[in-house]
Amino acid sequence: MMKVVNTLSDVFDSMQKEPGSMKVFLKADLQRAPVRSGIRSRGCSSGEGRPRDCSDIYASGQHEDGIYSIFPIHFPAGFQVYCDMSTEGGGWTVFQRREDGSVNFYREWAAYQEGFGKITGEHWLGLKRIHALTIQANYELRIDLEDFENSTSFAQYGSFGVGLFSVDADEDGYPLSIAEYSGTAGDSLLKHNGMKFTTKE
């Protein structure tokens, strides 16, 4: 397989207006609609009373943006995420935020596996966590872009995941699964469907 892009961040960068900021959201798909924003799971409960993602938290009545703990099925210890509860109906699990250049995204494999930055600001949630989220249900992706003139655009994909069909996602390079583009930002990801995640090494 050819290495077309260094990281998903590079692809997201190519979608970004210069200069500008970008938020990337995951959302559990509580109901399937022809066009929805973000990535969302089709289920709404982990079955244990613990939220699997921000959609579960939203469904439980929590509607304020902020940091919450989630417990994906394949990551039972859980971890904290930033939940956007106001964009397009709320319940978005933010896995990347780039706003002001305060965090260096040109990093090595280990950093992209584990994540970096601060959840309330610029950050990358980490491939291990994104994988744990996206293998538990069908997800949709939303990428919101805003430039310094406050012009906004978005890209959304009806299907999104990393390492979905891998026995060992890390060894396989967390291949991207993505389909069903719609939005105003233009599509920069569909051509990368099936590509492995790579870093500067």
Q: Report all structural domains of the chain as residue ranges with CATH numbers, in order of start.
A: 8-192 (3.90.215.10)
Spatial CB neighbours of 158, under 8 Å, sequence gap ≥ 6: 35, 36, 140, 179, 180, 182
d(CA 15, CA 175): 20
Q: What is the pLDDT of residue 41?
A: 54
Phi and psi at 68, nearest 5°, equal -135, 160
d(CA 25, CA 93): 5
Where the chain has pLDDT below 50, the residues are: 1-9, 11-20, 27-38, 42-47
d(CA 154, CA 15): 9
Q: What is the pLDDT of residue 146?
A: 80
Q: What is the pLDDT of residue 150?
A: 81
Cβ 168 vs Cβ 59: under 8 Å: no
d(CA 168, CA 156): 27
Give the global pTM: 0.80
* Helix residue spans in 16-162 (DSSP H): 54-59, 109-114, 127-134
Q: What is the pLDDT of residue 49?
A: 82
Q: What is the pLDDT of residue 171?
A: 93
Spatial CB neighbours of 168, under 8 Å, sequence gap ≥ 6: none
